[in-house]
Amino acid sequence: MFARGLKRKSAEDGEDVEGGLAGAQAMPSYSLQRQSLLDMSLVKLQLCHMLVEPNLCRSVLIANTVRQIQEEMAQDGTWRVVAPQAAGRAPLDRLVSTDILCRSVREQEGERPAPDAGDGHTPDLVPGLATVPSAQALRNPQSSLWEVDSSRENRGGFQKSLDQIFETLENKTSGSVEELFADVDSSYYDLDAVLTGMVGSTQSGHGSGLQAFSPATAAPPSSSCRSDLGELDHAVEILVET
């Protein structure tokens, strides 16, 4: 189980920033917790990339969780993580217990990092300022992953296992959730194309190649068959191993 039993400490505004900082390193804030959940989720997705037969339901649920976190981070404007050195002027929030992520929104409302914490900006301005970079971040999560990665070196208090995970993440070429997902599924997709493509194969020039490969029982000629030549070509390429 996760480290448990970290005690809560109420916010001490303006008082003893250094103490607050030292305290923050010992007790992760909501955004750090959320970040580690995101990292854990990405690792889980990677792991099922390596598994023999990934459980699709599990992958979908994890991917949806990742999307949720990304969306929330975009709303917060925290998708680009600020290095804690700069946080000297922006106090690292309130110190919360480890299980904050499990708590309901109502409980969390008072504790989540407000977009304008320590900046002096009005709430209206900051989201506006944040949207452009965060939108870019959403479109290119890969680069933001790397960014997050580099800023992580500055943080303390992460478990060793997470460090190993980041190395793996860096080595992987796929970045966005969608890409990860498409990778995992490509073989399914192709097989599906082959099976459904069986129906339309006799007309195309690839017919003989596929028929030679035909499975023991023919694919059901159902009305939901969605084959098109593009998929068929791709499938044939794989079969022929070009």
Partner 1 sequence: MKRGSHPGCRPALGCCQGPRRDQLQLLHSPRGSVVRWRGQSCDSQQDALLAGIGVLTQDTLWCFSQVKGTIEIGATEADIISTVEFNHTGELLATGDKGGRVVIFQREQESKNQVHRRGEYNVYSTFQSHEPEFDYLKSLEIEEKINKIRWLPQQNAAYFLLSTNDKTVKLWKVSERDKRPEGYNLKDEEGRLRDPATITTLRVPVLRPMDLMVEATPRRVFANAHTYHINSISVNSDYETYMSADDLRINLWNFEITNQSFNIVDIKPANMEELTEVITAAEFHPHHCNSFVYSSSKGTIRLCDMRASALCDRHSKFFEEPEDPSNRSFFSEIISSISDVKFSHSGRYIMTRDYLTVKVWDLNMENRPIETYQVHDYLRSKLCSLYENDCIFDKFECVWNGSDSVIMTGSYNNFFRMFDRNTKRDVTLEASRENSKPRAILKPRKVCVGGKRRKDEISVDSLDFSKKILHTAWHPSENIIAVAATNNLYIFQDKVN
Q: Which residues bind partner 1 (CB under 8 A)?
A: 1-2, 4, 34, 37, 40, 44, 52-53, 55-58, 60-61, 63-65, 68-69, 98-99, 101-106, 178, 181-182, 185, 187-192, 194-195, 215-220, 222-224, 226
Q: Please, what is the minimum distance in Å from the beta carbon of residue 89 to partner 1?
A: 29
Q: Using the 8-state DSSP alphabet, how is residue 8 labeled?
A: P
Q: Please, what is the minimum distance in Å from the beta carbon of residue 107 to partner 1?
A: 9
Q: Which is nearer to partner 1, 123 or 215 (CB)?
A: 215
Cβ-proximal residues to 179 (8 Å cutoff; 6+ apart), any chain? none
For residue 36, the Cα-to-chain-centroid distance in whole angstroms is 11
Contact present, 227 and 196 (Cβ < 8 Å): yes
Q: Please, what is the minimum distance in Å from the beta carbon of residue 41 to partner 1?
A: 8
Q: Please, what is the minimum distance in Å from the beta carbon of residue 86 to partner 1?
A: 26
Cβ-proximal residues to 199 (8 Å cutoff; 6+ apart), any chain? 219, 221, 225, 227
156 in helix, strand or coil?
A: coil
